Structures are given as C-alpha cells and as structure tokens.
Structure 1
Amino acid sequence: MFVVLFGLLALSCLPLSVLGVLEDRDAHMYRVNIYLPPKEGRDENADILEIKTKLAGLTDIKVLLSFKELGNSMVILVLRVDKACNWPQLTSFLARKGYEVKVTPVYYCSDVARELGLNMTRDFYDTVLEDDEDLVLGTQIFHVKDLTTAEYDEVLRQMFVRDMGILKAGQRAACFRTLAGLPVEVIHFAPVGQKKMEAIAEILHAPGNFDFEILRIQQLDRYTGGCE
C-alpha cells in the first residue's frame, strides 16, 4: 500500500529535466488519501485527531486542503511539498500507524484550461474552502474511446467553459487535474446547498463521455471526534 508514496519521494527528488515536459512543473502537489482500516483496539477518533496534529506540525509541506469523508474512515488531503525530500516526516508517521495510503500527483485545473486556450487565471478556482460545512468531492474521468486528440481536447475545454459559467454565477470550487496520461481525471472540491446542487446536476447531465463520482466530505478542522 505504501510503495506509491515512497516511489514518489524518490521521483520528487529528481530534477525537472528528468521528470519530463513542462506540464510536470507542479508535480510537487499531491492528493493523499489516508484510509484507516478496521483494526482491533483502534480508536478512529483518536487516530484522526492525531493526524490533524501531525499535519499542523509539518515543515516544508503545506496542507492546501484537508477533509474527512463522511461515513467513512478516509482522510483526503491536497499537499504542496516545497522540499520533496522532507516527505519522511509524514510518511514515517503514516507507515508507523499502519494506514493504507494512496498518493496521486496533481496540478491546477486553471493551468489545464489555459493550455486548452481559455483565459483563466490561477486564482479563478479557490485554493481554500474554509467556511463551508457542507462539501462534496466530485471526480470526473473522461474516457478517450474513439475521439481524436482535437475532439478530446474540445470535450475538456467545454467542461472548463461550463465551470467558468458556474463559478461566475457564484459557485465556489477548488479544482485539480491528476498528473497522468489518459484518461484525464479532474477533481473538484466544492461547497453545496440546495441551490448549489443545481450546478452539480448541470455537470451530471452535461454531454460527453465521462464517469462522475461524488463523495460527501467535511473540513478536517471541523472534525472533533463526535458522532456524524
């Protein structure tokens, strides 16, 4: 379970010329899923509160976003690792605790949108979602199938065009793309309410070949170990 994380540690210590093309420039941002599997004697509340304490004490690793999946023992993080070789201060802790960990490099959706020809500044999406209690994580996976490169790029471009309209109408969201090949995976973290669910419905019914998954999440700072 932990091989991915240590592999990324080694990869992150390589110079950019080794890592690859310019699109890899934000390879020091990561989505980290930490799953606490059931175990005799395990106190889930105490473990999650200990994770919160550990995150607060990290140096050269900035926690951009931190959530807990509602109804599941999963902590979801987006980290910026300014000095990648400082990973062990977190990885050694997670390994010692015996958690299941998945690490995925990500970069900003706004960078993707600009590469597709849209006029979108990096601050168009939120980088923090501090004040909202009701949140979702939405994951879109865009399948290639029989599309040409130009057609596939246009599907992604239209998704960002819809995003721009939704955000200009008052919706807020943080957005990242998985740093990988195909199919493209895009993740949104967004506050929801009765009216804002209409924006999600618009995404669900949008044209295009993609899978869409929604998880209910809460700010990790709001997790106090009580009943959900």
Structure 2
Amino acid sequence: MYRVDITLPPKEGRDENADILEIKTTVAGFTDIKVLFSFKELGNSVVILVLRVDKACSWPQLTSFLAGKGYEVKVTPMYYCSDFARELGLNMTRDFYDTSLPDDEDLIIGKQIIPVKDMTTTQYDAMLKTMFEKEMSIVNAGQRAACFRTLASLPVEMIYFAPVRQKKMSAISDTMNAKGYNDFELLRIEKLDHYTGGCE
C-alpha cells in the first residue's frame, strides 16, 4: 500500500477543479490498483491517495500519467496499523480500524512521529504497545479512524485519517503532544468523492 501526495503547482490558466477530477477518474480506472482512500487538503492544491497496488507491473500506469501532467509527487509505502499492533503482541483484528469514513463529518489527516529518544528497543516497543492499548479504548468508545504505519523502520511514523469536529482537533493535538509524541501534525481534508471545487 502507498500514500501518494500529488501537488498541483501554480500554473497560469490551470483549471484545478478539472485537474483534480481527472486525477480521480483516471486513477480509479487503473488495472490492479485499488483506491482505498482519496482526499484533497482544504486550502491547498494537494490530492492525497491511499492505494493498494496488487501487481508491481501496474505501477507505471500511475507514474506515467502523473509525470505527463507535471505534478509534484511524493510516494510513501505503508501498511495497516493493525498488522503492526499484532507484531507488538496485541490481539487486534485487521479490520479494527475503519476502511471507509463518514460522508457528513469534517475530516483530518494526522501524522505522528514517535521519537526513540534514549529508550531501548524493549522500552520503545512497550511504549508503542501502551499507546495502541489506549487507542483501542478510544476507538471502542466510538471514535472512528483509519490508521497506517509507514514502512520506514525507526522512528515509527503513523498516519491517521479520521472524522473530527473542530473542537476535538486542538484537544487531540494537545493530548498527543502531552504524551511526548512531539511531532504530531493535523491537516483538514475532504473526500475526493465529494470534491466539486470551482467558484460558488
């Protein structure tokens, strides 16, 4: 699985709305590439896709299309947080986190980098396990979220997509920072399914 960030650079005469809708429809039509999530950053010309590439030979469909358009592209390999939690010894099913998000709520993307600091591997894994246990209780209490871990080894980087009301955004950020997870970033996003763009 991959997170693909596509930035549309400023260009005279660019129809951002048409470009974004073309990205959406073109990628949806690729063979052996499944779009798990598709978003646009609010206020920025950035499309965020989460893709599952079933066959490596399918990848050039995407890279050729994006390169031909002149977009700036960043690709991050990822896998499910639930798989990572199981590696740490937790009993978490793969479908514990959401595979879809509600249509009628504000959405955010959260990126959390968990620093190693002076911890041993055992201490670091124990801290991650405790973090997941707290997260499980939050999700079980009704908070929805999709969660992925980037493939890089250390420090651990987690990516969340979640519905959240405006008041909760600062509370989530404060909570994460208070726990010492001091590299936490929140951005507002909208589903590409509902993106219409244009002037109103």
Q: TM-score, normalised by structure 2?
A: 0.93
| Residues in 2 aligned to 1:70 and 1:177: alpha-carbon distance in whole angstroms | 23
Q: Which moved more, 1:29-38 or 1:202-211?
A: 202-211
Matching of residue 140 in structure 1 with residue 93 in structure 2: no
Matching of residue 126 in structure 1 with residue 98 in structure 2: yes
| Match runs of 1:78-89 below 5 Å | 78-89=50-61
Deviation at 1:155, TM superposition (A): 1.9
2:121 alignment partner in structure 1: 149
Counterpart of 1:64 (choices 36, 46, 50) is 36
Which digits, 9 at most, give the CA deviation of each residue in 1:128-178, with x for residues without a partner?
114244100011001112111111112211221121011011010000000
1:185 alignment partner in structure 2: 157
1:138 maps to amino acid: G
Q: Which moved more, 1:40-49 or 1:72-81?
A: 40-49
Quick one: percent identity of the two aligned structures?
76
Report the secondary structure of 1:37's partner residue.
Answer: coil
Counterpart of 1:172 (choices 105, 123, 144) is 144
| Match runs of 1:1-228 below 5 Å | 29-193=1-165, 196-197=168-169, 200-201=172-173, 203-227=175-199
Would you say how many aligned residue pairs link Structure 1 and Structure 2? 200
1:81 maps to amino acid: V
| Residues in 1 aligned to 2:53 and 2:90: alpha-carbon distance in whole angstroms | 28
| Residues in 1 aligned to 2:7 and 2:166: alpha-carbon distance in whole angstroms | 30
| Residues in 2 aligned to 1:82 and 1:123: alpha-carbon distance in whole angstroms | 19
Q: Point out where structure 2 has 5 or more consecutive residues left out of the alignment.
A: none
Q: TM-score, normalised by structure 1?
A: 0.82
Deviation at 1:45, TM superposition (A): 1.2
Deviation at 1:80, TM superposition (A): 0.2
Q: Which moved more, 1:123-132 or 1:217-226?
A: 123-132
CA contact (8 A) 1:173 1:190 kept: yes
| Residues in 2 aligned to 1:147 and 1:210: alpha-carbon distance in whole angstroms | 15
Which digits, 9 at most, give the CA deviation of each residue in 1:197-219, with x for residues without a partner?
48725742542343100000000
| Residues in 1 aligned to 2:94 and 2:129: alpha-carbon distance in whole angstroms | 16
Give me the CA root mean square deviation.
1.8
CA contact (8 A) 1:166 1:199 kept: no
Deviation at 1:114, TM superposition (A): 0.9
CA contact (8 A) 1:155 1:208 kept: no
2:58 maps to amino acid: N
Q: Point out where structure 1 has 5 or more consecutive residues left out of the alignment.
A: 1-28
| Residues in 2 aligned to 1:177 and 1:80: alpha-carbon distance in whole angstroms | 14
Q: Given the superposition, is the C-alpha separation of residues 115 and 210 from structure 1 closer, same or farther in structure 2, using an over 3 Å criterion?
A: farther
Report the secondary structure of 1:87's partner residue.
Answer: helix
